[in-house]
A and B are shown apart, each in its own frame.
Chain A
Amino acid sequence: DAGVTQSPTHLIKTRGQQVTLRCSPKSGHDTVSWYQQALGQGPQFIFQYYEEEERQRGNFPDRFSGHQFPNYSSELNVNALLLGDSALYLCASSPEGARQFFGPGTRLTVL
């Protein structure tokens, strides 16, 4: 049984560009959450998707948007990239219940 997978592993973009990150949840998990982890910091909650809708959102600007597909996989989109968007982006999936399983993350560098 594959765990949570994320792609790509690393990504380099320039300021002003747009980026899409992808996440495939663990089998049987219907909820996907996204977190941003700046270097040396704890992860910060971006948003959560359930049944293809955004169920919760953290304090992130509208430049951050997402989508969940019928197979529960999810995308995180960031528009108009800023240098401060450089971070590790983590995806976590969960069944009904409290435990969240994390993927290996996507390291985004904005130059």
Chain B
Amino acid sequence: NAGVTQTPKFRVLKTGQSMTLLCAQDMNHEYMYWYRQDPGMGLRLIHYSVGEGTTAKGEVPDGYNVSRLKKQNFLLGLESAAPSQTSVYFCASSSVPGQGFTDTQYFGPGTRLTVL
């Protein structure tokens, strides 16, 4: 049981390049989330998904796209990277609260992205 895994762990991009971050969970969780963490800013929600095939915008969605084609995977895409997207990105997953489960979010180890 690996929990939540993220790939890659580190990446350096040039301005304008694109990339996809992959999040995978093996806990059969319905909800998945993408956050970014910047110094002094806490974690900010980018996009989230409440089930396979669904996505929704979070607090800071501009410049990012997501897809949830399979229940266990949640992809975060940057189409044209900008220096302002330099950050640490965390993925999380949780069960559906209120169905006998808690709303505990389980986080991955993070992806450190630098955009030059």
Mutual binders A and B: no
